[in-house]
Chain A
């Protein structure tokens, strides 16, 4: 059964810093890996999707990488801002395309 782990569980950094969030998964037979953002009490906002054949995706200040063979992904946030404060969730879709398996998230606080 696929398991997804996110490290760290929580992170607090001053505004302007570059930071890295980590995600690992146990079964490398995946269709894709997705990163989401969740604000308190809200639904999820899709940030980036990396297909299994891809190595990375970029959107603005965000860059996500995927190393499928080692079961790892990182989300890099450049020049962090207070508005980036949220919970970031990593999720993988297995080879059966039967829905996403989520990690528990990284709760990020950017201090002004």
Chain B
């Protein structure tokens, strides 16, 4: 069974802090990695994609990928209350299937 594991949280951080969200996956042939943000009652919104080892930065978001450790993370700098949401880690092996983790709930305290 191919799996994507996330800590369900909630992860609580104060406003302005760095939020660190982690994800591990079981299938070594996974090629593509995504982070989606989902507000309560809304649909998932793609915020980051990463395909090769290392860091990828986009504004306040940094995705980190370590294929040897089968680990992908998302850092949110200068966290804002508007970042409070569930963050879904998603992994694809290159076919049409994307496996989603159960999500980590993030709460940013003002």
A and B associate: no
Which positions in B face A, CB cutoff 8 Å?
A: none
Binding site for B on A (CB under 8 A): none
